[in-house]
Chain A
Amino acid sequence: MNENEKRKYIKGRKLGEGTYANVYLGQLRTDPAVLVAIKKMKVQREQDGIAYDAVRELKFLQELHHPNIVELLSVFNSKDQNLNLVLEYLPLGDLESLIRDTDRVRYGAADIKAWMGMLTRAVWFCHDNFVLHRDIKPNNLLIAADGEVKLADFGLARSFADPGVNMTHMVITRWYRPPELLFGCRSYSGAVDVWSVGLVFAELIIRTPFLPGNSEVDQINRICQAIGTPTEDNWPGVSSLRSYAVPAEVYPVPDKKAWMDRFGGVGAEGVDLLCKTLVLDPNKRITAREMLEHRWWRTDPKPTRKEDLPRSKDDGAKKMGADLGRRPGAVEDENRGSKVARRLDFGAK
């Protein structure tokens, strides 16, 4: 594959540098107007061959092709034996930068609906292909030149396990991690991604992370206070999960009105959908497919056309560089290391 693929692209300036990869701007040699992003994986060969994240990313991006999933255009290796992933260029930053820039970026319910629609379709497509993403969060949702949202970073993704085969619970960036994983559940489903989607939805509405826990214990506390304490009543079997522990004070599951007060901006139907994605019991949580069938999409306002969506005022290319270079599973603006959710767990699969 190599030389030919490599010669197709001209590597340009560095867009970003992360612990995990360096990201460069690239051009197609035959048509310099076509821009690409080249993600150069950092070697870790001495440790353990090609990083597990890189293998996962490669294997899934090779197979999944969807308008809302970042497109892998090519792979080549450079002289120093580094893997280079050629990805489509997504110059408009990510959802996180739009959410955070409250001074300069304004958006409404129609825009949220458009973004959520694209995110939900991406997640449905993954699940329909038996792939769990396991790291959905605003800075993994990049934006293409035409406004299309693209789900990126498949470094933690895996295929659904066969029944009875355990998976690791050390996945998904903490703020977006569902209670079943926090309780150490090793056998889970697409519901874990749906929870993350719900939290991205909430964050789009209130423009700040909904449950920014600063430790796993704090994360559980915040979930209990905001969404209710998981108990045998609302989630049969929960107390037998491996690391089930909740605060002594039992918080009730809030009623519709409490949700409406805080998230009413997206209307009653929108709040209904949000509540269904944030159901404590993963077995009762809505699936990605059911989300797509929800009434909210058909009630006014209609989703904004992607070309008309609000755009980031920052340097989107730089943002892409930073997002792609980051190690999967990490929360930003916290000290590194402690918050890396993903650890290679050889026993756990």
Chain B
Amino acid sequence: MACNYWDSTQRRHWQFTKDELAAMRQKLEDEEASLVQMFPLPQLRHLNIHFNQQINRLGKRLGVRQQPMATAQVYLKRFYTRVEIRRTNPYLMMATAIYLASKTEECPQHIRLVTGEARSLWPHEISAIDAGKIGECEFFLISEMNSQLIIHQPYRSLTQFQAEFNLSQEEVALSWSVINDHYMTDLPLLYPPHIIAITAILLALVLRPTNGPGGPTGTGANSANLAAAAAQLAQVQAQARAAITGGSGPGTPGGLQGMQFSSAAGEKSPDARFNKVTRFAGWLAASSIDIEAMVDCTQELISFYECHEQFNDKHTRESILRFVKARGL
């Protein structure tokens, strides 16, 4: 990550409200009404889960680190706010996004290597892939993104907060995996990276680390725990919000007592956690962090974990393949 987020093209051009995002997508669908009708797709979040998994698979084969894979996912998201998905071959676009992200994140991969790995990973999905095609798509991708290529990721914010909140390895790992998961939602197009990072930390502190890192990632098997945590969290946030809007100014987080109690309840070692959460709550109250945005992020994540359960990889892949094959993309 380079440059200043506050002056960045990300903040100025690629952060939307939910309404704006919905309007852009609606417009794309309206323009291609017949295509949309002919090729129904699962909900966007399910598509994103599929993209996330596929990008991770290709990235692992190439030995690409987490950061470029995250960047590739944001590229894909930005691209599909400008171009109707049914007009493209998403597998080709994923390969291209990884290829470009590896360049912008300073770990360039050779175009032929990317082409080769993509071909063997997706033999049915991409019929004729060669370096020239990736080159062409790279061009398309850059131009739809207005050649604005620097993505500010929450990972860096998390590393900075680690010392501030004295987070344990487990808590960092859990926050990290929440951040990994948020790439399957619209959050990267909605909120600044520090809000995401803080929300991830909040979730990690409130969730019991016994859920383990990787709990929320992947299978969604822990969604029962998550739902429980979610309920707890909703309560916490209601209190936090009341405390802050209720005029208990910085330095006197008295109204946040409730937050500490409810989240520390049922802990094995309440004292250590209690302190940590207190510290976090105090910091939040004294900061000018947008609590509303955090609440919204949390909701998004929770509803994402719920919808993760209905995800059917086979079905998603097939519905994508249907239009890819039919249109010879």
Asked whether, in the complex, the Cβ of B138 is within 8 Å of the Cβ of A49, the reply is: yes
With A50-B142, A52-B103, A129-B4 as known contacts, state yes or no: A62 contacts B110, CB within 8 Å.
no
A313 an interface residue at 8 Å Cβ cutoff?
A: no
A226 an interface residue at 8 Å Cβ cutoff?
A: no
A231 an interface residue at 8 Å Cβ cutoff?
A: no
Residues from chain B with a CB closer than 8 A to the CB of A83 are: 139, 142, 147
- Min CB distance A254 to B, Å, is 37
Asked whether, in the complex, the Cβ of A63 is within 8 Å of the Cβ of B139, the reply is: no
B72 an interface residue at 8 Å Cβ cutoff?
A: no
Asked whether, in the complex, the Cβ of A55 is within 8 Å of the Cβ of B135, the reply is: no
Asked whether, in the complex, the Cβ of B146 is within 8 Å of the Cβ of A1, the reply is: yes
With A55-B149, A344-B108 as known contacts, state yes or no: A60 contacts B2, CB within 8 Å.
yes
Considering only residues 43-90 of chain A, those with a C-beta below 8 Å from chain B are 45-50, 52, 55, 58-60, 62-65, 75-77, 81, 83
B183 an interface residue at 8 Å Cβ cutoff?
A: no
Asked whether, in the complex, the Cβ of B3 is within 8 Å of the Cβ of A77, the reply is: no
Residues from chain B with a CB closer than 8 A to the CB of A60 are: 2-3, 150
Asked whether, in the complex, the Cβ of A50 is within 8 Å of the Cβ of B109, the reply is: no
Residues from chain A with a CB closer than 8 A to the CB of B104 are: 55, 59
Interface of chain A: mostly helix, strand, loop or mixed: mixed
Residues from chain A with a CB closer than 8 A to the CB of B144 are: 1
The stretch from A158-166, A183-191, A304-312 touching chain B is A158-166
Asked whether, in the complex, the Cβ of B106 is within 8 Å of the Cβ of A1, the reply is: no
Residues from chain A with a CB closer than 8 A to the CB of B150 are: 59-60, 62-63
- Min CB distance B261 to A, Å, is 39
B99 an interface residue at 8 Å Cβ cutoff?
A: yes
B292 an interface residue at 8 Å Cβ cutoff?
A: no
Residues from chain A with a CB closer than 8 A to the CB of B131 are: 46, 48-49
- Min CB distance B190 to A, Å, is 21
Picked from B2, B103, B132, the residue with its CB within 8 Å of the CB of A130 is: B2
Chain A, Cβ-Cβ closest to B137: A49
B134 an interface residue at 8 Å Cβ cutoff?
A: yes
Considering only residues 90-122 of chain B, those with a C-beta below 8 Å from chain A are 99-100, 103-104, 106-111
With A50-B138, A129-B3, A131-B3 as known contacts, state yes or no: A58 contacts B143, CB within 8 Å.
no
Picked from B7, B136, B138, B148, the residue with its CB within 8 Å of the CB of A65 is: B7
B8 an interface residue at 8 Å Cβ cutoff?
A: yes
- Min CB distance B203 to A, Å, is 25
Asked whether, in the complex, the Cβ of A58 is within 8 Å of the Cβ of B149, the reply is: yes
A349 an interface residue at 8 Å Cβ cutoff?
A: yes
Asked whether, in the complex, the Cβ of B111 is within 8 Å of the Cβ of A48, the reply is: yes
Residues from chain B with a CB closer than 8 A to the CB of A65 are: 7
Asked whether, in the complex, the Cβ of A55 is within 8 Å of the Cβ of B107, the reply is: no
Considering only residues 112-168 of chain B, those with a C-beta below 8 Å from chain A are 131-132, 134-136, 138-139, 142-144, 146-150
Asked whether, in the complex, the Cβ of A77 is within 8 Å of the Cβ of B138, the reply is: no
B232 an interface residue at 8 Å Cβ cutoff?
A: no
Chain B, Cβ-Cβ closest to A57: B147
B9 an interface residue at 8 Å Cβ cutoff?
A: yes
Asked whether, in the complex, the Cβ of B139 is within 8 Å of the Cβ of A62, the reply is: no
Q: Other than the known A1-B144, A1-B147, what 8 A-B pairs have Cβ atoms closer than 8 Å?
A: A49-B111, A55-B149, A63-B8, A75-B147, A129-B4, A130-B3, A344-B108, A349-B107
> Which 10 pairs across A and B sit closest by C-beta, in order of nearness?
A159-B2, A45-B135, A63-B3, A59-B149, A75-B147, A129-B3, A130-B2, A49-B135, A1-B146, A58-B147
Query: What are some 11 contacts across the A-B interface (CB < 8 A)?
Result: A1-B147, A46-B131, A47-B111, A50-B135, A52-B108, A63-B3, A83-B142, A129-B2, A130-B1, A131-B2, A349-B108
